[in-house]
Amino acid sequence: ETGVTQTPRHLVMGMTNKKSLKCEQHLGHNAMYWYKQSAKKPLELMFVYNFKEQTENNSVPSRFSPECPNSSHLFLHLHTLQPEDSALYLCASSQVSPSGLNFGSGTRLTVV
Amino acid sequence: RKEVEQDPGPFNVPEGATVAFNCTYSNSASQSFFWYRQDCRKEPKLLMSVYSSGNEDGRFTAQLNRASQYISLLIRDSKLSDSATYLCAVNMVDSSYKLIFGSGTRLLVRP
């Protein structure tokens, strides 16, 4: 167990669907992240939240909408996605200064 | 130039071999450096931080070369279980919370 739990593990959705990814961390960290990992590409940082405040939006399309209600929970709301959005979406958490990120197991998303 | 670059490999080595990976970064003011290990279809896991003076953890040694802007990972006495993709990560100096990852180097250790 990494202390970061993501659900669901797998998700198949149509381009007109709306779905949400959930992440919960049990480590007492105060920063949370969404990363995207596509085949043969490096991990791409999407969003960073520090003490519930969004501090980074890495030019992510508006069809991805993050939500951080508290320091332990992070959501990624998805709507009208494209097939090229199919990827592994990883949530991570860390302390204030990066002593390294703890990743969840990820959600493998397929857009059909 | 990419912010963080790695040779994708694969590095195919026999058990017991010593293997080294490098990772170059573009921003000379970067302060924090890490090596992660990622197994197939799993999440990345922190292997070790990289300190200015270099650091060792068992068979693994990490070093930082600020002048040439690269970090390295040395694995001695390779085991079959070391087969994985090794990712380097570098923090961006405009934010301590923004870690940029390389695309990873794949290691295959054969019997």
Q: What is the mean pLDDT of residues B90-111?
A: 85
* pLDDT value of position B30: 86
Interchain contact B34–A (C-beta under 8 A): yes
Question: What is the largest distance, in Å, between two alpha-carbon atoms of chain A?
Answer: 39
Single out the residue of A5, A18, A37 nearest to residue A77, CA to CA.
A18
* pLDDT value of position B101: 93
* pLDDT value of position A11: 96
pLDDT band at B29 (very low <50, low <70, confident <90, very high): confident
Q: Quote the CA–CA distance of B14 and A79 in Å, as a whole number.
A: 47
* pLDDT value of position A96: 65
Which residues in chain B have Cβ-Cβ distances shorter than 8 Å to A35? Answer: 101
pLDDT band at B12 (very low <50, low <70, confident <90, very high): very high
> Cβ A55–B97 below 8 Å, yes or no?
yes
The parts of chain A modelled with pLDDT lower than 70 are 1, 96-99
* pLDDT value of position A44: 93
* pLDDT value of position B51: 85
User: What share of chain B has pLDDT > 90, as a percent?
Assistant: 77
Task: Express each pLDDT in B59-95 by its tens digit.
Answer: 999 999 999 999 999 999 999 999 999 999 998 766 5
* pLDDT value of position B99: 87
Q: What is the mean pLDDT of residues B41-60?
A: 93
> Cβ A42–B103 below 8 Å, yes or no?
yes
Q: Quote the CA–CA distance of B32 and B90 in Å, as a whole number.
A: 6
The rounded mean pLDDT for chain B is 92
Which residues in chain A have Cβ-Cβ distances shorter than 8 Å to B50? Answer: none
CA distance to partner chain B, nearest, from residue A19 (Å): 22
CB contact burial B22-56 (16+ within 10 A = b; e otherwise): bbbbeeeebebbbbbbbeeeebbbbbbbbeeeeee
Which residues in chain B have Cβ-Cβ distances shorter than 8 Å to A101? Answer: 44, 46, 89, 99
